[in-house]
Every structure is written in structure tokens, then in C-alpha cells.
Amino acid sequence: MDDQRPYVYKTTDYGQTWHEIANGIHPNAFARVIREDPVRPGLLYAGTERGVYISFDAGASWQSLQLDLPAVAVHDLLVKDRDVVIGTHSRGFWILDDVTPLRQVTDDVARAAAHLFSVTPVYRNLGARGGGRPVRNLGQNPPRGVVVTYYLKEKPAADVT
């Protein structure tokens, strides 16, 4: 009763032994769901009472993946193709578009002064472009065309070109 700790455990021997893997998850953010990335083994996403967390090392450590998601209970997660679909309580659902760069993060990338991630293949669409006015309080579709994602260890003094 009244215990909000994230009880997150892992087994590697089919349930003979279990190891706690909640290091880095807020102590009052009980876990509701954990999903492993289908492309990169050991890349885990956790939905908790206070948001979303990510682990790059099979749960040995976690960090917040909140981005612009409000502090909200996450009841379910689905990794679909390159996106993570986040089902929340009372806030609808959110989609984290194209987690390809997250799949490419390694210790070497984190230590590097700069890193350019591989781009996701895109297709040129010469058809109708759609249009209309933006609607308030609705999400935005991902940008069209090639998205270039990079990492810089230090904040540059000038614009990056």
C-alpha cells in the first residue's frame, strides 16, 4: 500500500533468478510497461506513472525520454517500425517519430566530440502536397524529406551549417 517504487526486474535464465533494473527511474514512478526495441537488442523503453524512460544497456541504467511529453501516466508503449507509440492516461497518445538515431547511440557516440547519424531512407513524392491550416492543439506530422540528425558534445558558439 502506498508504495510507488518502480519494481522493474529482468531475468536471463528463464526465471530462475531475477535482477532489479530500475536504476535511474524516479523512485516514485512505478512502472507500467517495458518494451524492447525490435531492431536493437538491449534498447528498452519504459512507461511509468510519471512519463517515459529509455535504457541503452538492457536496463542497467535509465534516463528520461520525456522530451515535450507532459508529466503523465504512460499505460502502454508500442515500437512500430521506426516510431514509438505512447499511450497515456487522459492525454491521448503520442508518437515519437523515427527512433533510428536512438538505435545508433553507443558509448563511442556519447564520447565523440561530434557525430552524424545515418539518415533514414526517404522517397521523393511528386504527388499532391496536401495543405490546409494548422489546427491548434494537434500534433504535427514529421517533416518531409531527409532529416539530418547530429550530436555535438559542446554547444557551438555559432550556427551549425
Q: Is 108 exposed, middle or buried (0-12, 13-18, 19+ CB in 10 A)?
A: exposed
State the pLDDT at residue 127. 60
Element (H, E) at 156: none
Does the pLDDT at position 145 exceed 80? yes
Q: 70 versus 104: which is more confidently predicted?
A: 104
- Number of helices (H), then strands (E), in the chain: 2, 11
How many domains does the structure of the chain reveal? 1
36 touches 43 (CB < 8 A):
yes
The pTM (predicted TM-score) of the whole model is 0.85
In a domain, 98, yes or no: yes
Chain centroid to CA 111:
20
Q: What residue type is assigned to position 43 of the chain?
A: L
Does the pLDDT at position 128 exceed 60? no
Tell me the average pLDDT across 13-18. Answer: 96
Does the pLDDT at position 160 exceed 90? no
In a domain, 43, yes or no: yes
Q: What are phi and psi of 86, to 5 degrees?
A: -115, 115
How far apart CA 13 and CA 27 sit, in angstroms, is 27
Would you place residue 102 in the very low, low, confident or very high pLDDT band (cuts 50, 70, 90)? very high
The sign one gets for the Cα dihedral 79, 82, 86, 87 is: negative
41-84, pLDDT tens digit by residue? 999 999 999 999 999 999 999 999 999 888 899 999 999 999 99
In a domain, 50, yes or no: yes
Cell numbers at 48, concatenated: 511509468
In a domain, 158, yes or no: no
In a domain, 161, yes or no: no
Chain centroid to CA 122:
21
Domain that holds residue 90: 9-152
State the pLDDT at residue 129. 58
Does the pLDDT at position 136 exceed 80? no
State the pLDDT at residue 132. 58
Question: Helix (H, G, I), strand (E, B), or coil: what is residue 108?
Answer: helix
User: Greatest CA span in the chain, whole angstroms?
Assistant: 59
